[in-house]
Amino acid sequence: MSTDELKLRELLAQLHTQLRGAKKVDAGSRELLKTVATDIETALARSGVRPVSAESKLEELAAKFEVEHPALAEAVRDVVDALRKAGI
């Protein structure tokens, strides 16, 4: 496993922790984020198969969280950056 993939896994774990601690995140956003995280985990397990539109879904969620959950929005953007660096 590459350093980028390890970093991505670490960021995903941090994102899950922040999501669990976030208050007032609507159920739809929470579910979408879980789905995207599962897609990313599946892609990592398949050694780089890119999850379909995960990046755009994450960008949309980051924008949605920006006002009420800035730390969560930043964590989502960190995952997007890690996806790009890992080539996933």
Residues 44, 48: Cα–Cα separation, whole Å: 6
pLDDT-derived band at 3, boundaries 50, 70, 90: confident
What pLDDT, in 10s, does the model give residues 65-85? 888 888 888 888 888 888 777
What pLDDT, in 10s, does the model give residues 20-70? 777 777 888 777 777 777 777 777 777 655 555 677 778 888 888 888 888
Cβ(22)–Cβ(34) below 8 Å: no
Work out the burial of residue 50: count CB atoms within 10 Å of its CB; fewer than 13 is exposed, 13-18 middle, 19 or more buried: middle
